[in-house]
Amino acid sequence: MRYLDEYRDGAAAQKMLRQIERVATRPWTIMEVCGSQTHAILKYGIDELLPPQITLIHGPGCPVCVTPVETVDQALVIASRDDVIFTSYGDMLRVPGSSKDLLSVKAEGGDVRMVYSPMDALKVARDNPGKRVVFFAIGFETTAPANAMAVVAAEREGLANFLMLTSHVLIPPAIQAIASSPENRVQGFLAPGHVCTVTGYAQYEPLAKKYRLPIVVTGFEPLDILHAIHMLVSQLEAGRHEVENQYSRSVTREGNRQAQALIDEVFEVADQRWRGIGVIPCSGLRLKGRYTKYDAARVFALEETASREASVCIAGLVLQGVRKPPECPAFGKECTPEHALGAPMVSSEGACAAYYLYARRAGTAR
Amino acid sequence: MCLGIPGEVISIEENGEQMRRAKVRFGGITRDVYLDLVPEAQVGDYVIVHVGFAISKVNAEEAERVFELLSQLEGDDALPG
């Protein structure tokens, strides 16, 4: 396929690797924030091909993984109701709450349906006027405009039986939280290309300046990632800390104005809890103004229950890049994609699932 | 979750709906995609699609840059010195 295959070309990747080897003279630690990039890095063996002085650590860029367990528990309560059809992206169906997941609710008779787009959920609402249709609206800035569009369309149609349970998270506050942590080891960031497609990258410039960390907006194919690493290492070697755009075939500095306007119309910035990490100030989006009537948590007046996490799981440390998945005592033993203790082992973007899938074990991963 | 796939716009529905839909081809598969976030997209353009919405139009000129850079860098390697 055009714009995919050429960026998976082995010869081009080898050339880029040679350039990285030429430019890297010292040890550098780089974080790829986005879970899709983590999977590409492990799938194509980029972590094993890079010169040994470059260490990649994996960031919290997996919305499925960071959706708070309290919100998953709320989803389980709502999805169990007889008057509800609960719709969700597939990844969320097997994410463990305190005691079970959405697939268990489905097995117990709950009407839980997988959708590929919020517009599919809207169609379910149109087709089932006698039910309340709740969409589990999770995601980063990439997904927020589509979720906002569904609410705007529901408002336009007067679709009163459509609701959303939201868990939207923002990338720059997460980068700030990592960069300002006393435990931070990251010397440069690969920023997520599709988030920046929507938001642009101007908001990353103050972060690069304040923390003196180079940031490169990065695409998702192996050649994109290697190119971005070359750009980042070149900056690090030269002592520069700027924001550069590797993924310029999709990203501009100002981003997608229509998408930004839609987000601003429907959502407002709020403090947000990240699973395994805790509350990060101003790192989430919640429905605002006249759109709060679509907020399922508000409509069903859900109180926070006493949620709990599996005690042995170190997902929070993995999501912050402090530990790697094979360092978890449960990894590959009582925690596998088929029976996961933590969200990063379930999600198609989770670091634990990537390590398990691409057979990285303790002692083999750098 | 932030998966975005490039596909070619092969037709645009102008049916008076408030939302603008297109048929977009991804290899051998064609899907309905909303163009509301990328209103400038035309038939023949490639767009990046995420959860049923086009989020950007692929900039063909920018897409070539990495290959131009590689030729340039490889050329530098061939220089004596």
pLDDT tens digit sequence for A53-106: 999 999 988 899 999 999 999 999 999 999 999 999 998 999 999 999 999 999
Residue A332: pLDDT above 70? yes
Give the strand pairing for A162-169 and A188-192. Answer: unpaired
Cβ–Cβ < 8 Å for B26, B5 = yes
Six token digits for residue A331: 């990894």
The values of phi and psi at residue A300, to 5°, are -90, 5
Mutate: best of A65, A142, A199, A319, partner B, most B CBs <10 A: A142
Share of chain A above pLDDT 90, in %: 86
pLDDT at position A74, please?
95
pLDDT at position B78, please?
52
The tens digit of pLDDT for each residue in A262-312 reads 999 999 999 999 998 899 999 999 999 999 999 999 999 876 667 888 788
| d(CA B23, nearest CA chain A) in Å | 15
Cβ–Cβ < 8 Å for B15, B56 = no
pLDDT at position B43, please?
97
Residue A1: pLDDT above 80? yes
pLDDT less than 70: residues of chain B: 15-17, 76-81
pLDDT at position A366, please?
47
The residue-averaged pLDDT of A26-35 equals 96
pLDDT at position A26, please?
97
Residue in the structure block whose two tokens are 């229509």? A258
Q: Tell me which chain A residues have a C-beta less than 8 angstroms from the C-beta of B38.
A: 256, 258
Cβ distance A194 to B38 less than 8 Å, yes or no, reads no
Share of chain A above pLDDT 70, in %: 97
Cβ distance B39 to A251 less than 8 Å, yes or no, reads no
